[in-house]
Amino acid sequence: MRIGFVNPFLEAASDVLSAEAGCSIERQKPRLETDKAVTNDLAVIIGVTGEARGIVMYNFSESTAKAIASAMFCQPIPTLDKMAESALAELANAMAGRAAVNLEHEGYFCTLTPPTIVHGRNTIISMVDLFRLVVPMKTQHGTIEISIALRDCKNQTRTRL
């Protein structure tokens, strides 16, 4: 994975979390994940296609997810109901959308899939031949782990079937 794929996602996450949930962000030490299991209670997954291909996942503990949804709604969110899920999906969509714009500035044009929410620690997400770079982002509401697994496909030729 190109290191140039990482910063657009981290910058976008910082900007969007600050604007939408009033979060200040502190990046933690990144790590490479080869395990296929989701490492937190809730993950919002967005597929990336085009000149960069793969997925980005925004991983939350349940308490962090509820705290961020509460900050977005300006009221307590006691459970991860449909409204909370919708808020988190929209937050992840905004972060990925901003990152896609940042990637375009780097010369990589891509499109995004709608967000998918996965509940359950240790759920298996298989990405054949892709490793995830996981960057924890510490906020006052808890830590969000951004997992980036992208492949450079800019110069790939496609054959028609």
Place of tokens 């496909």: 153
Q: Cβ-count burial of 121 within 10 angstroms (0-12 exposed, 13-18 middle, 19+ buried)?
A: middle
pLDDT digits (tens, 9 = 90+) for 8-50: 999 999 999 999 988 889 999 998 887 766 777 899 999 999 9
Q: With bands split at pLDDT 50, 70 and 90, how would you rate the model's confidence at 123?
A: confident
pLDDT given for residue 60 in this prediction: 94
Q: Which CATH number is 3-152 given?
A: 3.40.1550.10
Cα separation, 152 vs 53, in Å, equals: 7
Place of tokens 């901003």: 98
Closest CA to 25 of 157, 135, 154, 161: 135
Considering the chain, what percentage of its residues have pLDDT values greater than 90? 66
Mean per-residue pLDDT, 57-81? 93
Q: With bands split at pLDDT 50, 70 and 90, how would you rate the model's confidence at 158?
A: low
